[in-house]
Chain A
Amino acid sequence: MPTPNTSNKKAKLNPNGLKRVFKMVWNDYKWLIIIIAILVCVNSFANVYGNAFQQRLIDDYITPMLATSSKDFSPLLSAIIQMIVIYAIGVVASYVLNRLTVKISLGTLNNVRERLFAHMQTLPIKYFDTHPHGDIMSVYTNDTDTLRQTISSSIPQVFSSLITIIMVIISMFSLSWILALITLSFSILMLFIAKKITHKSGKYFRQQQRELGHVNGYIEEMIEGSRVIKVFSHEQQVQEDFDKINDTLCQASTKANTFANILMPICMNFGYVSYVVCAIVGSYFAIHGMFNMTVGTIAAMLSLNKAFNNPITQISQQLNAVIMSQAGAARIFEILDEPSESDSGIVTLVRTKLENDQWVETKDYTGHWCWKHPRSNNGYELVPLKGDVIFDDVTFGYNEDKTVLHDINLYAHAGQKVALVGATGAGKTTITNLVNRFYDIQKGTITYDGINIELIEKPDLRRSLGVVLQDTQLFSGTIMDNIRFGKLDATDEECIAAAKLARADSFINHLENGYNTYIHANGESLSQGQRQLLAIARAAVANPPVLILDEATSSIDTRTERLVQEGMDELMKGRTVFVIAHRLSTIMNSDAIMVLDQGRIIERGNHDSLIEKKGIYYQLYTGALEID
């Protein structure tokens, strides 16, 4: 019974998330925002002008007509035509305004997604090994979605409300400063209460987003593992666990929304209270002749009071969306703030050609590569890429308190095949994780063609290494796409040749659409063995000088493997190869075999010498011993 991962609790909250989103929006759409602001003003103007026209309709048109009892409607007609023009401007302004807002809000969502994704690619492997995948996904879906409403409706709404509020405040103060002060102090009190409430709902919204991530993580894991659930008929238990976390989410969501929903009635009715107090105080002043208060002023002030409280209520309605997006933004920036994989490398891989016995950098496809090693005198040295890998006293642990590899010394000279043999958990896979710097070593050095790999830029280092792992990860797309993943500019012919090399060609041709068959990443349309063949083809087309094969053929049947082996031998020719395999038959012809036990190399040599030695390898070979 899996318990929810605890990493959620550790998540620190970033209260400035939303501020940073706004900053991002401002930086990306500065001019659009200014245009929007102008359009909001134009639209408000049309509205205000319309309201004024209602006033003028009586005073300037109807009353004169009633007084003179003339039936000449032509002045009114021209006034209405004028209004049509102004209204038309208002409508156009509001339409353009909305279009631009859509552009900004969707554009920002797009940007956020793209930035998240791009940043995610830079995170170290460790991040993915230690975070629930569903929880990461929730940031892309649930959390990014919370930004939508804030940007698309809240911001323009708040903006236009603010304009109204400012205009009303000015009119209020010009009528009666004392009543204006009363109205204002009530709205300040209201804002204070609103802040208290949003503080509460904000807390629960953050909890809700966190729980959402949680539920998402659980769902993802259980759907991935649904086959195992079925095989163990474990549906009931999984359901019960799910109900538990679903319940927690429901509770957080109820609390968050309760506080959020209460906000609007409070603001609205507080507005009424403000109205009543204004009326009573105003009447008192008028009756006692204080502050030059007249009945007309009170009536006008009261309608302004209404006009003042309406936009404030509207703003309060938008606050919920804002609070929720604050919770979402915090989680988004949590990922964006996650430190990228560091790369202090300075040595790069460049194409070269031989000129007068000297390597010279070139842009042509010569098939020759060199490490470009900058030197202190601003010059650089070109070191030919050969594939020489040396481990010198390497010590490593995934956690600092537990060492997995102890003092590993290992030499793989260019073109050599080095096999790592040992019981499961002896540290074989860990060694391959270190060569491509998925993890960094704690002690010792690893050199590639004599260069410390920490000096090599990670992308170039990895480009020079081909890896085929036991767990084959493919990507949704055609078979051809998946092979081409190894070398993006490979022609169809190159891909097919690689597939032939990996002996994948025949099964691919048996598929309905051949190389254009669409496969899903986790789809079960291919068997594990077939997936491994594709992974080998993918590595083959990449054509790197160093290959790491970690149980690359474990799911391939022996007869096929024998065929693949021929291709592999061809593939391995002239390359440095690290092989991890349980089937000793695949590694017997290695130049060097390292026997690992609990993170230490306990024997080394070639097959014959090791057999002769009659040590651990011999016993393993004859099945007399399990090394542990």
Chain B
Amino acid sequence: MISTLAKQIKGYKKETILTPVFVSLEVFLDILIPFFMSKMVDEGITPSNIDIVIRYGSLMLIIAILALFCGAMSGRYAAIAAAGFGKNLRAAEFKNIQNFSFMNIDEYSTGGLITRLTTDVNNVQNSFQMLIRIAVRSPLNFIMALCMVFYLNWKIACWLLVVLVCLALSIGVLIKKAGPVFKKMFKMYDNLNEEIQENISGIRPIKSFVREDYVIERFNKRSQDIYDVNRKAELLMILNQPFVQIAVYSCMLLISWFGAHYIVDGTMEVGYLFSLFSYVMNLLMSLMMFSMILVMLTMSTASANRIAEVINQVSYLESPENGQTTVKDGSIEFDHVYFNYTPQVDGHYVLRDIDFSIPTGSTLGILGGTGSSKTSLVSLIPRLYDVTSGEVRVGGVNVKEYDLKTLRDSVAMVLQKNVLFSGTIKENMRWGDEHATDEEIMEACRLAQADEFIQRMPDQYDTYIEQGGTNVSGGQRQRLCIARALLKKPKILILDDSTSAVDTKTDFLIREAFRTKIPDTTKIIISQRISSLQDADQILVLDNGHFNAMGTHEELLKSNEIYRTTWQAQQKGDDTDANA
């Protein structure tokens, strides 16, 4: 974990090193000042020598200005280093998330990933700043003070050492105990965030069912749970304070008792007693600072681990080295494909022995009941998931041998769960092709039958789409998503039930446009509507992950039971194209 995080200091190494350097200088100067203070009192004020007072005074002023400069520099460098470190952590996480395969994404919850990128990074960033500023200061102080105590009276110093070791041990135990509690707490924060997140996006059903009180109660329970665990952790950590206090007080009394004896015995001078008191304070202060840093580190270790987990997460699906960078054509072959989402589980497959092929430029329709794994099947073509066994070939080449970007650039898939991003329509369209001209965008939108409603919007192609596309209707969203996919000029176009909210006539127009305008693209259409499929070259019927039948509309009507019954069910009313 530490090495993973340490790598992210890159670009800010200079600042990270300079901070403790300036801090050390500052500490050194700070230690000089009390020394000159006592000199000024002893040599200047007591004998009433104003010249010496002024001399030491100006010296101290210079030192103070120097210390101020060092302090300011260390502060500045610490800020730069910490903010930069945080930035790098976020960027590294975000970058690796972009590398995640679909299977990786399935594993993390959205809320969890967000916490790891925000709150966790904040924690680590703050601790880091603290670490490079104070972690140097307090040990330095501690060592110097300890030396002085031994120099003044080693017998008392030994007693003090015993107290200090006890204190260090008990703080150590505390931190060890608190660690797991903090870890648990962070897990709960994840859950809470997920809860908030789903509430924000699920506000419509909540309000429709008047479930505000119910979700509030649910939320409060979770919040209360966090409070309890958090409290447990904090109550452990605050024991730190009395421990330190007990140590301070014991040291004071020990010094008083033994000091008095040694003075009466004549083995120690009276003045040393005060020095001992002030150095003990120094010792304990730095120890307390140090324990504070340890607490912060404990808290942020949990965060750091979670960040490292994301950065180090290996994608289940890597682009091959020197993968093929051209896709010959849009032909597709499934060669005895078995597939399951979790590879560990044997015996149960989402897809079983799928075996078929279609030539480039043809149209394949896929029909199957809810949960018959239609989406799983097409997800294998752009290699969103890897097959468990068997092979999927595009353009005659196994998809695993393509460079991933090449493959996905030539396979456009319109997901069932469409997502538009906040930004103008044009910006959303340019997801398909960054360099698309306005004319190309309009052409794609005309193909997807989206142009006319865009033209009616107040700002046409510059209309701002809210997050998740909430300000366009379901059917409009689907058409925008199709247009976006078309802009990729793919060799294979997959529509996963992407016209379900589009009316039948528009649906027909879209398919008509596909046929005439992009005849060379292989098209795969998943739909519940036979009318959307019936003019396909081949129609694949899936049943519960099994290949059931494949053929043309007419063939299937004759031979396939599932197809026929579905067709008959749809005959009444919505079979628009048959009558067209």
Contacts and interface: CB of A to CB of B under 8 A. Distances in A.
B253 A84 contact: yes
B114 A250 contact: no
A230 interface: yes
Q: Which of A141, A152, A523 has the most CB of B within 10 A?
A: A141
15 contacts: A1-B434, A54-B274, A80-B256, A95-B241, A114-B223, A216-B114, A221-B468, A223-B97, A233-B408, A261-B74, A272-B67, A280-B50, A436-B208, A528-B417, A558-B529
Interface magnitude class on chain A:
35 or more
A254 B497 CA distance: 48
Interface stretch (A126-134, A163-171, A351-359): A126-134
Nearest to B93: A219
B430 to A, nearest CB: 6
A585 interface: yes
The interface size bin for chain B is 35 or more
Contact of B90 (A118, A137, A246, A523): A246
Contact of A57 (B260, B384, B528): B260
B306 interface: no
B427 interface: yes
Interface stretch (A180-188, A373-381, A468-476): A468-476
Contacts of B135: none
Interface stretch (A22-30, A570-578, A618-626): A618-626
Q: Which of A249, A261, A538 has the most CB of B within 10 A?
A: A261
A223 B209 contact: no
A257 B129 contact: yes
A243 B196 CA distance: 26
A133 B201 contact: yes
A184 to B, nearest CB: 19
Contacts of B113: 219, 223
Contacts of A229: 98
A528 B404 CA distance: 27
A53 interface: yes
Contacts of A302: 37, 41
Residue from B63, B202, B207, B432 whose CB has the most chain A CB atoms within 10 Å = B207
A76 interface: yes
Contact of A476 (B74, B118, B194, B574): B194
Given A242-B91, A284-B50, A485-B209, A588 B105 contact: no
A423 B227 contact: no
A92 B206 CA distance: 49
B110 A558 contact: no
Interface string B217-244: 0011001101100110011001101100
Interface string B240-278: 011001100100110011011101100000100110010
State the 9 A-B residue pairs at the shortest beta-carbon distance, nearest first.
Answer: A265-B71, A261-B75, A424-B475, A623-B576, A529-B370, A257-B79, A521-B198, A2-B423, A585-B573
B196 A117 contact: yes
Nearest to A112: B223
Contact of A585 (B106, B242, B246, B572): B572
Contacts of B144: none
Contact of B119 (A91, A142, A473, A521): A142
Nearest to A341: B207
B45 A283 contact: yes
B14 interface: no
Interface stretch (B80-88, B161-169, B173-181): B80-88
A286 interface: yes
A102 B90 contact: no
A106 B231 contact: yes
A368 interface: no
Given A225-B419, A257-B82, 17 more contacts: A61-B260, A84-B253, A87-B245, A101-B238, A117-B199, A233-B404, A239-B95, A261-B74, A261-B75, A268-B67, A275-B60, A276-B57, A282-B45, A298-B41, A402-B458, A423-B506, A558-B570
A493 B430 CA distance: 51
Interface stretch (A33-41, A386-394, A458-466): A458-466
Contacts of B416: 527-528, 555
Nearest to B500: A554
Contacts of A467: 204-205, 208-209
Interface string A471-488: 101111000000001101
A215 interface: yes
Given A62-B270, A486-B209, A106 B230 contact: yes
Secondary structure class of chain B's binding surface, majority of residues = helix
Interface in A402-451: 402, 422-425, 428-429, 436, 438
Nearest to A133: B200
A253 B54 CA distance: 42
A191 interface: no
A295 B40 CA distance: 12
A229 B105 CA distance: 12
B391 interface: no
Interface stretch (B145-153, B354-362, B514-522, B561-569): B561-569
B405 interface: yes
Contacts of B84: 250, 254
Interface in A261-292: 261-262, 264-266, 268-269, 272-273, 275-277, 279-280, 282-284, 286-287
Instruction: Tell me the interface secondary structure of chain A in the complex.
Output: helix
A561 B528 contact: yes
B249 to A, nearest CB: 4
B529 A583 contact: yes
Interface in A71-107: 71, 73, 76-77, 80, 83-84, 87, 90-92, 94-95, 98-99, 101-103, 106-107
Contacts of A295: 45-46, 48
A52 interface: no
Contact of A227 (B48, B205, B419, B579): B419
B203 interface: yes
Contacts of B63: 272
Contact of B207 (A125, A261, A269, A620): A125
Interface string B19-39: 000000010001001000100
Contacts of A555: 370, 416, 497, 500, 528
A140 B192 CA distance: 10
Given A122-B212, A258-B76, A521-B201, A424 B474 contact: yes
Nearest to B497: A555
Interface string A501-538: 00000010000000000001111100111100101001
Interface string A223-240: 111111111111101110
A50 interface: yes
A557 interface: yes
Given A137-B196, A230-B384, A558-B566, A121 B212 contact: yes
Contacts of A99: 235, 238
B54 to A, nearest CB: 6
B242 A220 contact: no
A494 interface: no
Interface string B491-535: 000000100111111101100000000000000000011100000
B65 interface: yes
A486 B211 CA distance: 8
Given A265-B72, A584-B573, A557 B452 contact: no
Interface in A534-557: 535, 538, 542, 551, 554-557
A233 to B, nearest CB: 4
B476 interface: yes
B369 A125 contact: no
Given A102-B235, A462-B209, A469-B205, A558 B528 contact: yes
Contact of A562 (B40, B569, B579): B569
Contacts of A215: 90, 117-118
A627 to B, nearest CB: 8
Contacts of A237: 431, 434
A344 interface: no
B119 A224 contact: no
Given A1-B423, A215-B118, A265-B75, A279 B570 contact: no
